Structure formats: C-alpha cells, structure tokens
Amino acid sequence: MKKHKKNRNVAIIGIGQTHHSSHREDVNQPEMIHEAVELALKDAGIGIEDVDALVHGNMELFEMVHQPDLWHVIGTGGYGKACYRVTTGGTTGATIVGVGDNIVASGLHDIVMIIGFEKQQEGHTTGGITNMADPLWARNLQTGALTGATAAKTIKEFGEDRAKRAAMRLRVTLDKHAALNPHAHRSFGLDYDQIDDLMANSPQLVGELRLIHMCSQSDGAVAIILACEEKAKKISKKPVWIRDHVTVHREETFNMFGINENQEVTHHNAARKLFGRNGITNPREYFDVFEMYDPSSWWGLDWLREFLQLEGDEHLKMVENDEVSINGSFPLNPSGGVISTNPIGATAALRVAEAALQVRGDAGAHQIPREVKHALASGFGGTFWTVLFMLEKDLDWQEAE
Amino acid sequence: MTEEHKHCHIKEGKLALPYQYFAGRVGSKFIVSLRDKKKILGVKCEKCGKVFIPPRKTCERCFENISENWVELSNEGEVTNFTVVRTDDKHHPRKAPYVLAMIKLGGADTPITHILEGVEPDSVKIGMKVKAVFADKAVNTMLQIDRFEPVK
C-alpha cells in the first residue's frame, strides 16, 4: 500500500479526559487540566517522569489569560521539561497532536504529552473570536462563530424540506450518540419523531441555523500521550498508530475580500491530499469510523461530502439511511461529537482521542459494534484550518511498495 | 513626523476583556479562611515536605494530591526580596512610590508577593520581620490581606 514518508512511527499510548460541563466551579484551570493528565498517565501506565516534553494548547482570549501554560505547570507536570505552547483557533487540539506527532517522528523526543483545554465559562468566547478580525477592515462587522451560510447553501441545493430534515436527523443521531458517552457535556434525549417540531420551533440563531444545531460552550481538558515505535511497543499493549496527518488552511475568512466560492474547501483539499498520498481511493470503505469536528449540524452534514469526496446528494443519503449512526456502515462521531461537547482547545484533540479509543475497542458504551482498524479524525478552526488524522490499529501499511 | 509617515492612518482601539476566575475548592477555602478567620493557610506535600502558599491541589514536583493537607501559617514572616514601584498607573494598587515585597511567612517554604507599608522605601531590608494587616471588608482575593507592615 502507498504510504507517506515518516522518519519513525508514532503511536498514541495514553488517553485521559475530564467530564465536560459548563459547571466546573470546583476546580481552577491547572486543577482541571491535572485531572486529564493523571488519567492519561494512568492509562499509559507511566509516570510524569517518563514524559520528555509537553505540548499545551487553548485560545488565550477565551479565558482572558495571557500565557496560561506558565501557571498551569502546577497541573501539567511541565516542571523541568521541554514545553511547547500552540494555538490555532478551533483547530488547536488537532494541531497540538500534529506537533506531538512531528516532534516524536523527528526523533527530538521519545514520549510527548499533548494537553488541550478550555474553560469557556470563565471568559467571553465571542469577544475573543471577534478580536481575531482586522480592526481597520472587519472587526466592527465580525459576529463571532455563528453563520447561516451553509444552511442557506444546502437548502438552495437540495430544497428546503429535505435539507432541513437531513440536518435535524443528523442532530438527533448525534444526540443519541452523546447519550452513550459519559464524558459528554450535553445530551437531550432527542428522538426522530421530534424532527418536525425542532425544525419549526428551535430558536433561530442565524437564518436556518437554530439553537439545537449549534455546539455547546464547555469546560474540559484532554491529555494524549504519544510515543515513538520502540517505546510504544514496550509500554503499551494497544498502541494506536498515527499513520499520517495533514494541515490545510486559508486566511481570507476574516479579511475584507471574502471567500471565493469556487475555491476548493480546505476539508476537501486536506482529505484529497491525505488519501492521495496514502493510496486511499474509497475512504467510505476504508475507514471504520470518523470523528469529525462538527461545530453545527449543517456543517457536519455538508462536511461529510467534503471529507469523503462525495458527489451529488450522497452525503444526505448517508444521513437519511442512518449509515452514520453508531450501528451504521459508516459511524460518525460515536462520542456525540462537538455538537455535544466543545471545550474548544480540547475539542479537536478529543476527536483524535475518541477515534483512538474506538481503534483500541475501549470506548465503552459508545464503542461501535465491529472491529475498528482504520479511523479518521478531523479538526476545524475559524480561519478555515483543517487538520486531518489517519489512525491505524496495525502497522501493516508499512510493507508498502 | 517624517515625510514617509505622513498620511499613515492609525486606528485607536480599546478591547473589553470580561472574565471570571473559578478559584476551585482549594483556592476558595484559602480565601474564606483569610476573610472569615483572618488565618493564612498553606498546604504541605508529605513526600517532599514543602509547604506551599498560595495553596494548590498538586505538588508540581512530586505530582501528589496535597489538597487536604492544610497547615496554618503564621501571620508574620520575613522579607526575602523587594522592589520599589516608582511610577503611577491606574492599575496599580497604591500611589507611587510604594514597596512590593516577597514575604516568606512562618511555616511556609514559598514566599508570596504583597504590598509593604509603614516603612520608608529606602529603609526596607531583606530579612526584615513583617506582619499581615487584614482588610476590614470582604475583598475575596489575595488583597483580603490589605498589606504587610514591619513588626514593631
């Protein structure tokens, strides 16, 4: 099988996450992070002394704390270690895993812990996001993370009833998944017979983007421990291999020039590159599960098409035919996804963590009911950043060419 | 203004940065004790023996949970270092000149930074004995200790 060049193999050997909630008054930031760090170390069966380096990420302006990694050392275990701080908007969680993957693959460090967190209840997320826009051209016009554009586009293409029904069906499916995940922030107990009611009565945010379609603001943290092949095989019974990851971004979203609608979407571009260089011709067939960064049900629906390189209305059919449910042929976000849980700096890392738990067979009640050998996980950020990961159960793609 | 800076527009701006800080259970117990009992608490790591103030849930060296190991510290301590603030700023807690000192309280291994008053800036010495003066009303931050003053 075709493969992308990597200096040495890297595996996920430890995963820890907090319960995600909008009420973590019981802990300050380093204390909350420490919960995830302790769980990840325990999961890997190692101590903090075995970890060579840390990669820490969140959005500073969301908690209004400058350089939070410095006061988080109490909770991260970063004392005396190489520490990196990374922030790339909503993508941060995926970027820190990517950085961890790179610095282990390079040979710089053997064991690296990545830590993503957000404590959104402490700050003002929309204030933070708005300050990303250029003050001269766009800041006064910027409205934060909400947009009705994808809903309008999907309705225009597939008709109002079908589009709205598909987006809401996806919403209900992911709510059912979230109900199986004890770490999930929100699950409402929704069912498919509520689709018409929700389509008509959920409060509108922007156009047909309604409150029920939109992700939460959560507090939470995740820690993932990565190791080089030699150490991973010694330490872990179930290493999950990071076969490859790709980052694609464009920056025009927040400037005055707007988006070129004919330009390839970054998700499509990222998937095309990643699949191309790894010889994946039919991603729907190849991957057993997909943990997608889905900030809203409209985006989740539309992005299925982009990531899976689908034509026409295939993505709608996948939702309408329940292929994306946990028991379906292509389970999407068995964790419940971002729509249920969104501690932003942790969110994209949680996609990788949840995909890895599926590969290990350790996801618990939201484990998909068949063997997972190949998993896909994506991150998304405000300026159309896409980070896309391929995880593998076995090192068998190594016998390539 | 040089010729090349002429006609270069500058936009003046101001950001609002609203936030909350969740002190957590450990931090809250410390503040409540300061406020209601005028007692300064630290936490002790049983493994390395260090007593930390402000208190924390975890010893960052030993990675032990120390959140229940409360110890009462003395309201008196000594200056381990200090600086004199000589500029005024609306964010500063006092009018310049004033002294910010690092003070190691009796029973603690880590010094805290606080305002030192009741002594001329030029007369402050490392090793000087000082004591906490508590605020009269509820402040609910470290400024529940209003200031330190020399022990007479």
Q: Does B23 touch chain A (CB under 8 A)?
A: yes
Query: Cβ separation of A75 and B27 shorter than 8 Å?
Result: no
Helix (H) or strand (E) segment spanning residue A111: strand A111-119
- In A336-384, the DSSP E strands lie at 374-381
Instruction: Average the pLDDT over A198-218 and give the result.
Output: 96
Q: What pLDDT sits at residue B150?
A: 98
The answer to whether the beta carbons of residues A337 and A187 sit under 8 Å apart is: no
Q: What pLDDT sits at residue A252?
A: 60
pLDDT in tens, A194-203: 999 999 999 9
Q: Does B14 touch chain A (CB under 8 A)?
A: no
ipTM of the complex: 0.88
Chain B segment 109-128 residues within 8 A of A by beta carbon are none
Give the rounded percent of residues in chain A with a pLDDT score beyond 70: 96
The closest of B73, B142, B144, B76 to B108, measured between CA atoms, is B73
Q: What pLDDT sits at residue B102?
A: 98
Q: What pLDDT sits at residue B4?
A: 81
Domains located in chain A, CATH noted: 10-126+218-235 (3.40.47.10), 137-217+243-398 (3.40.47.10)
What's the farthest any 2 CA atoms get from each other in chain A?
59
**Coil, strand, or helix at residue A323?**
coil
Q: Starting at the edge strand that comes first in sequence, how are the strands of the sheet with B70-73 ordered?
A: B51-52, B40-44, B70-73
Residue A334: asked if its preceding bond is cis (omega within 30°), the reply is: no
pLDDT of A254 above 70: no
Q: Which residue of A24, A34, A121 is in closest CB contact with B58?
A: A34
- Which chain B residues are within 8 Å of A79, Cβ to Cβ? 60-61
Residues 6+ apart with CB under 8 A from B15: A127, A131
Q: Quick one: DSSP state of residue A108?
A: S
pLDDT in tens, A128-160: 887 777 788 777 777 677 889 899 999 999 999
The closest of A356, A360, A393 to A377, measured between CA atoms, is A356
**Coil, strand, or helix at residue A194?**
helix
Q: Does B8 touch chain A (CB under 8 A)?
A: no
pLDDT in tens, A52-62: 999 999 998 88
Q: Does A22 touch chain B (CB under 8 A)?
A: no
- Which chain A residues are within 8 Å of B60, Cβ to Cβ? 73-75, 77, 79
Instruction: Average the pLDDT over A213-230 and give the result.
Output: 96
- CA–CA gap between residue A160 and residue A143 (Å, rounded): 25
pLDDT of A400 above 90: no
Q: What pLDDT sits at residue B5?
A: 81
A132 against A270, higher pLDDT? A270
Q: Does B11 touch chain A (CB under 8 A)?
A: yes
A253 band by pLDDT with thresholds 50, 70 and 90: low
Domain borders along chain B are: 20-150
A257 band by pLDDT with thresholds 50, 70 and 90: low
**Coil, strand, or helix at residue A16?**
strand
Please report, in tens digits, the pLDDT of each residue of chain B (152 residues total). Answer: 677 888 888 888 888 788 899 999 999 999 999 999 999 999 999 999 999 999 999 998 899 999 999 999 999 999 999 999 999 999 999 999 999 999 999 999 999 999 999 999 999 999 999 999 999 999 999 999 999 999 98
A1 against A127, higher pLDDT? A127
Chain A nearest C-alpha distance from B25 (Å): 5
Q: What pLDDT sits at residue B6?
A: 83
By CB atoms closer than 10 A (0-12, 13-18, 19+), residue A142 is: middle
The CA dihedral of A278, A287, A217, B56, to the nearest 10 degrees, is -70
Q: Does A27 touch chain B (CB under 8 A)?
A: yes
Q: What pLDDT sits at residue A260?
A: 67
Q: What pLDDT sits at residue B152?
A: 86
